[in-house]
Structure 1
């Protein structure tokens, strides 16, 4: 799994004044929680670019002095006016503690309905899951090989070992719909008969 390394420094001063000062220096205030202790630190805004502006699920390895924390991105906040990154929350991964994250869906295979002239419509691009850190992965693969024309693949159809899917089981992930051309062809055949 992809891991982004971020080097930061522990924050010793807190409050509005210290936070404004850190942001004016190009630093982003951050918090790591979920482990033995809550850690406040700041790091340069540019070091988060590859972690935040991507649809991929990645781990963050945060180096603060001699300590290294393995984390996942939990929350990010942007300034309402400038749209700059203003704060990040990380959740520390503890081996025996399940973690809830959002994993992207990767559609694989070739649908029977698409081969017959239908159009694949992807309804959701990610699933909320709960798993131990050792079972986390970059994405969840969903096979559409058996997806027929006018058919759906729902959350309940997804098979993921050692991962609990938190989304409602009836939500459709992808479907194959009839195209206008296919409908017109079927209507024309119906008139001929």
Structure 2
């Protein structure tokens, strides 16, 4: 999984007045959990652009004064209800030998057969919560939808991996192909074909008759 570096500085004061002063200076107050005790720090709001405003997921290296580096993942984020400015971010410290739980985006591969026939691919789950060692977690999970016909569903069981554990019930639907007004035909490879009467070759014998 890709990693981003956030340069921050430890916070000496965590009161409301100090927090407001940080935000006025264009910084975001943050807390890192998972260590011996919570670590309060702050970083420039612009530093979170590639971490927050993206559909992808990343691990984070928090680099503090003195060269201290801590590996983490984003746990929670608060936005201003009007301006959407970042108000606060919580991180969780990770260790190479300890499993973590994260939401990983789902990327589809291929064009469903049902879509080619006029159906529509609908997503029920664009992100999947999985659990595993940080080094085993992927940037995204591939879902091959090529064989899906109209009415077919893709379940999380089809996306199992030895690298991580899926934290959803087996009957959870990731996506499905639904019918639409543009449906033009059923899938043809498994459908029985009937020959119309006017398509019978002239050389065939009619019932009770002779070849023409």
Length-normalised TM-score, structure 1: 0.88
Q: Distance in 1 between matches of 2:20 and 2:144?
A: 48
- 1:138 is aligned to 139
Q: Distance in 1 between matches of 2:41 and 2:113?
A: 51
Superposition deviation, residue 160 in structure 1: 2.0
Instruction: Tell me whether 168-177 or 53-62 shows the greater mean CA deviation.
Output: 168-177
Q: Indicate yes or no: 2:95 matched with 1:91.
A: no
Q: Distance in 2 between matches of 1:18 and 1:61?
A: 25
Superposition deviation, residue 129 in structure 1: 1.0
- For residues 121-160 of structure 1, give each alpha carbon's deviation from its aligned partner in whole angstroms, at most 9, with x where no partner exists: 2222100111111111111111112212210001222222
Superposition deviation, residue 33 in structure 1: 1.2
Superposition deviation, residue 117 in structure 1: 3.3
Larger fraction in strand? 1
Q: Distance in 2 between matches of 1:102 and 1:142?
A: 15
> Stretches of 4+ moved more than 6 A in 1?
none
Q: Indicate yes or no: 2:75 matched with 1:74.
A: yes
Superposition deviation, residue 5 in structure 1: 1.3
Contact 2:153 2:174 in 1 (8 A): yes
Q: Distance in 2 between matches of 1:114 and 1:14?
A: 54
Contact 1:29 1:40 in 2 (8 A): yes
Question: Any residues of structure 2 matched to 1:16-35 within 5 Å, and which?
Answer: 16-35=16-35
What are structure 2's unaligned runs of at least 5 residues?
187-195, 198-212
- For residue 180 of structure 1, give the secondary structure of its aligned residue in structure 2: coil
Root-mean-square deviation (CA, aligned residues, Å) is 2.0
Q: Distance in 2 between matches of 1:79 and 1:113?
A: 42
- For residue 18 of structure 1, give the secondary structure of its aligned residue in structure 2: helix
Larger fraction in helix? 1
Length-normalised TM-score, structure 2: 0.81
**In the comparison of the two structures, how many residue pairs are matched?**
187
